[in-house]
């Protein structure tokens, strides 16, 4: 299956990306190596917009990542979460759930609901998984364009 990630073009040659080591996110604590991806390009854009402040991101790329069909992936559904899971800032137990999955050493990643659209899925990839390169490959890098009408600037 293919998943999608949008990031600054200066990181086009870096895979897997390491941004999560420097900043916390909804599903991880700073210093935990997690790669966030989305099930489709539109959701990847929406996730970037949600985190970009009032300005449209510029000079971005789209990474297309292939996850093998037999990859061991955990799945977290909305029904597995407390009612406050979508709050901002994110409840700390979400990062702990991810850390528990990583510590189990059983999964190359996890499929989680998106706060932006609960019926759609984001993918968390765990590059420290022992067979990561067996299951996960970057297959394409392209320009990511954001229509100026999205934020009105």
Give domain limits for the chain.
2-150
Classified as helix, coil or strand, 43 is helix
pLDDT tens readout for residues 81-140 = 999 999 999 999 999 999 999 999 999 999 999 999 999 999 999 999 999 999 999 999
Residues 6+ apart with CB under 8 A from 136: 16, 65, 66, 67, 68, 71, 108, 109, 125, 127
Whole-prediction pTM value?
0.95
Task: Name the band, by pLDDT with cuts 50, 70 and 90, for residue 153.
Answer: low
pLDDT tens readout for residues 13-27 = 999 999 999 999 999
């Amino acid at each position: 299956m293919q998943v999608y990630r949008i990031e600054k073009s200066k990181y086009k040659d870096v895979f897997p990306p390491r941004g999560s080591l420097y900043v916390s996110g909804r599903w991880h604590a700073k210093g935990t190596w997690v790669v966030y991806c989305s099930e489709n390009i539109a959701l990847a854009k929406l996730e970037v917009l949600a985190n970009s402040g009032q300005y449209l991101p510029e000079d971005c790329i789209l990474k297309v990542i292939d996850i093998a069909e037999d990859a061991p992936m955990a799945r977290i559904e909305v029904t597995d979460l407390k009612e406050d899971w979508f709050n901002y800032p994110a409840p700390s137990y979400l990062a702990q759930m991810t850390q528990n999955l990583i510590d189990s050493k059983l999964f190359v990643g996890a499929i989680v609901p998106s706060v932006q659209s609960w019926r759609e899925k984001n993918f968390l990839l765990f590059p420290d998984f022992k067979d990561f390169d067996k299951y996960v490959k970057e297959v394409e890098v392209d320009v990511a364009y954001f229509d100026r009408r999205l934020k009105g600037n």
